[in-house]
Amino acid sequence: MSTSSLGPEEQALFSIGVLARLTGINPGTLRIWERRYKIANPMRSGARDKRMYSQSDIDRLSLVKILVDGGHPVSSVAQLSIEELRSRLKMSADRVSKDVSAKIQPSRVVVLGGSLAVRFAEHKGQLREIEICGMFSSAAELDDKARALAPEVLVVEYATLQRETLGDIWRHLAVTGVRHAVVIFGFGAQRSVKDLERAGVLCLQAPVTLSEIERACASARGASVLKVEETMTATAGVPPRRFSPDQLARIAASATPMKCECPHHLVDLVNSLVAFETYSNECVNLYPHDAQIHELLHTTTAAARALMETGLAKVIEAEGISAD
């Protein structure tokens, strides 16, 4: 299928890795289908002659994947146009109805990022595959309010991908209960992108259209649940402490109107996590041969400490306790 006649909305190109996540077709399988059945004719880009696919390729191959999963031989659908594929899919609705219904159910999405929120707000009525249930301009507001909205996908915008990006996303997922994430970024090292993709985060480099983000969200919901905590490495960041030792001491010493002991217990937990966070970081420096596992302990303990600090902040707000 040629990409030369694409309209302006379809001009964005995607690597084979992104296409694989959006369609569910393994890159190796797709290459075989291209050689054997001429199922797609990707454009080539750069000195390394990388395969690049259009939005039309993704739409068409997504239908092919549904039909193949429903029992159709790939040889029987490889050369069909997108209209013919849709017709074949309609005739086979009794066998693939579960797959089709899963695709047309809107994904519940929360958005973190000022410019993204503005774009989604302006075109909210045009979205079909996703439902924007919350838009936040700050990470603190997201962590505080998103869980109550029961979102399925987090869309977050970064100007650049930093060492701490993976840690940030992991913490957002843990606090909000979201199971899938899409990252829109301006610039980022290839290693950072690979770290995120290995964790199951779908990465799209700006500029991207809203339809591309919408499709990515719908596809992310059908992907495996993120396992970011299993892929935390030395590249992950460590969140800053929310409370100083003096503030924790004041909270622990405060009396509560209902004689609730939760603030005292939470302070003890935070202090214990801080102590182990410091200890595991020193282990990284003392024993280089165990650096990777101790760095994992350091970053995960720091993330746990940040979560407990969030809980403590909510408790002292509810109890009317000042940390200052």
CA 188 to chain CA centroid, nearest Å? 16
Amino acid in position 310: T
pLDDT value at 280 more than 50: yes
pLDDT reading at 258 higher than 60:
no
Q: Do 107 and 149 touch, CB atoms closer than 8 A?
A: no
DSSP string covering 277-303: HHHHHHHHHH-GGGHHHHHHHHHHHHH
DSSP E strand stretches across 166-304: 180-187, 202-205
For the record, the structure tokens of 194 come out as 């690979």
* pTM given for the model: 0.46
pLDDT of residue 93: 63
pLDDT of 292 over the 70 cut: no
Tell me the pLDDT tens digit for each residue of 97-137.
Answer: 555 445 556 778 888 887 777 777 777 666 777 788 888 88
Tens of pLDDT, residues 31-59: 899 988 899 888 887 667 788 888 889 98
